[in-house]
Structure 1
Amino acid sequence: MSINTIKDKVVVIAGGAKNLGGLIAEDFAKQGAKAIVVHYNSSSTQASAEVTVAKIEALGTKAIAIQADLTSAEANKRLFEDTIKAFGHPDIAINTVGKVLKKAIVEVSEDEYDQMSAVNAKAAFFFLKEAGKNLNENGKVCTIVTSLLGAFTPFYAAYAGMKAPVEHFTRAAAKEFGERGISVTAIGPGPMDTPFFYSEEGADAIAYHKTAAALSAFSKTGLTEIEDIVPYIRFVVTEGWWMTGQTILVNGGYTTK
């Protein structure tokens, strides 16, 4: 079995119920994954997770849905334990979990700060920890961050600021896990055409973002589409394994570092 392929591999996808995570799950099933664990956060996304599992199974890949609030270390541990019980040790771990907040620093409450930290940084850290402990040799890990890490902009301190630590988590994990052949990357999409984007943006901001990328005119919405991101995820967990410890901004020329 080739080490740089999705075929016959066990995959765990945090936030795999819908949107980008759901599309990754379907794509990996089409690539011949042996089994896929579709993680979802709460009862509000359970139905979507079950639909995604059904789509995966229809493509001939085994699948289960697992609920967990990954803002606790214990929940991340259980997610990987349950994955191993169902299918054996995973080969690929993808974390798409995130929460957006657009608000001025002077308006962010302590509760909002804590929530953004828990979802965007703490969950990512402990997902990486469990991936490092439980992935098979030559495994692959990828975390979804944001292209705002390359932007100089107001109002996203609590969001981009809490995604920023994942860059260093990624570098450190790449060094620490590399002796087992495990590569670790982060992908930062531009503003994506998903409900998470529209829920935080006003009409003027939406209009701006739809024209801000160099390639906006060639996108069906002007934004980053989830279909634009999946090939990069597929690449970094297969032929692109030699690129490790990196954060790659994929945004059609929206911003760069």
Structure 2
Amino acid sequence: MSTSIALVTGGSRGLGRSTVINLAKRGISSIFTYHSNDAAAQAVVAEVEALDVAGVKVKALALDTGDVSAFAAFVAEIKTQLTQWQADGLDYLVNNAGTSHHNAIVSTTEEEFDGLFNVHLKGVFFLTQALLPVLKDNGRIVNISSGLTRFCVPGSASYAAMKGAIEVFTRYLAKELGERGIRANTVAPGAIETDFSGGTVRDNPEVNRMVASMTALGRPGLPEDIGPMIAALLSEDNRWINGQRIEVSGGMVL
């Protein structure tokens, strides 16, 4: 029995991990990337395999999503894996991998800015481009943005600017790929309790309380608030959602 297949970048932790697991629960196989922590990646593989969902497969591949020169070899790996799984392409692409950054505009260096650009914009653009021949017609793309494109938190300008660009890029993907039936949407999480930004939202009580106070539902988000939503968005039930920014923040800064 064949299943649909997703490629999820940054799938070894946080939102990516939750996405891979919740796709598996829906009967969808995943190839996911990780940057360097092989042990964390293999733990996700083990967790998916322990679900024992019929037909669901999972594979972890190392990739620096900020290194465009690595993409040709990576796509070759994807093609090899698809052949081994007797699949003719990817059904879904979730561009989730990212790094955090906190610095005021007046203090941000060119090196910091370029690092964000390579991972959050250039990497997403060119990895998506490289994968388009492998993505099936009528497939779906989800790009991860941030609540910070709507509301402002000082020290987040560079990061938010990259995510704002991703939201525009996503609308253009929806327009240009519409003739292939491919849908593209952006998911914009609010503040989530993960190890992102050094685990600040999760581990700093003051920050946790501040986020809770500015969120209508009275708490920060959890990875399990996001992964199931992404999995649901990729489903056929949401086939008519296209070119949209969907914020998943519990009602932050309303």
Q: Work out which of the residue numbers 81, 86, 93 in structure 1 matches 2:76.
A: 81
Amino acid in structure 1 at the alignment position of 2:121: A
Amino acid in structure 2 at the alignment position of 1:207: R
CA contact (8 A) 2:10 2:96 kept: yes
Give TM-score, length-normalised by structure 1: 0.87
Amino acid in structure 2 at the alignment position of 1:36: S
Task: Check if 1:225 corresponds to 2:222.
Answer: yes
Q: Work out which of the residue numbers 53, 60, 63 in structure 2 matches 1:65.
A: 60
SS in structure 2 at match of 1:233 = helix
| Aligned length, in residue pairs | 243
Task: Check if 1:156 corresponds to 2:156.
Answer: yes
CA–CA distance in structure 2, aligned partners of residues 66 and 96 of structure 1 = 14
CA–CA distance in structure 2, aligned partners of residues 224 and 200 of structure 1 = 13
Q: String of CA shifts for 1:92-131, please: whole Å, max 9, x gaps.
A: 1111111111211111111111111111111221232133
The range that moved more, 70-79 or 45-54, is 70-79
**1:79 shift after superposition:** 2.9
SS in structure 1 at match of 2:250 = coil
**1:36 shift after superposition:** 1.4
Amino acid in structure 2 at the alignment position of 1:27: N
CA contact (8 A) 1:83 1:90 kept: no
**1:37 shift after superposition:** 0.7
Amino acid in structure 1 at the alignment position of 2:222: E
CA–CA distance in structure 2, aligned partners of residues 28 and 93 of structure 1 = 12
CA contact (8 A) 1:147 1:255 kept: no
**1:231 shift after superposition:** 2.7
Amino acid in structure 2 at the alignment position of 1:41: H
CA–CA distance in structure 1, aligned partners of residues 71 and 93 of structure 2 = 12
| Paired-residue identity, % | 30
Q: String of CA shifts for 1:131-184, please: whole Å, max 9, x gaps.
A: 333201111110111011111332111111111110111011111111111101
Q: Work out which of the residue numbers 40, 47, 59 in structure 1 matches 2:39.
A: 47
CA contact (8 A) 2:142 2:184 kept: yes
Residue segments in structure 1 that go unaligned for 5+ positions in a row: 2-6, 217-221
Over aligned residues, Cα RMSD in angstroms? 2.0
Amino acid in structure 1 at the alignment position of 2:216: A
Corresponding residue of 1:185: 185
Q: String of CA shifts for 1:70-102, please: whole Å, max 9, x gaps.
A: 112233333333122112411111111111112
Cα 1:245–1:68, aligned 2, differ >3 Å: closer, same or farther?
same
Amino acid in structure 2 at the alignment position of 1:90: L
SS in structure 2 at match of 1:92 = strand
Corresponding residue of 2:126: 126
CA–CA distance in structure 1, aligned partners of residues 167 and 6 of structure 2 = 22
Corresponding residue of 2:113: 113
CA contact (8 A) 2:208 2:220 kept: no
* 1:186-201 correspondence to structure 2 within 5 Å: 186-199=186-199
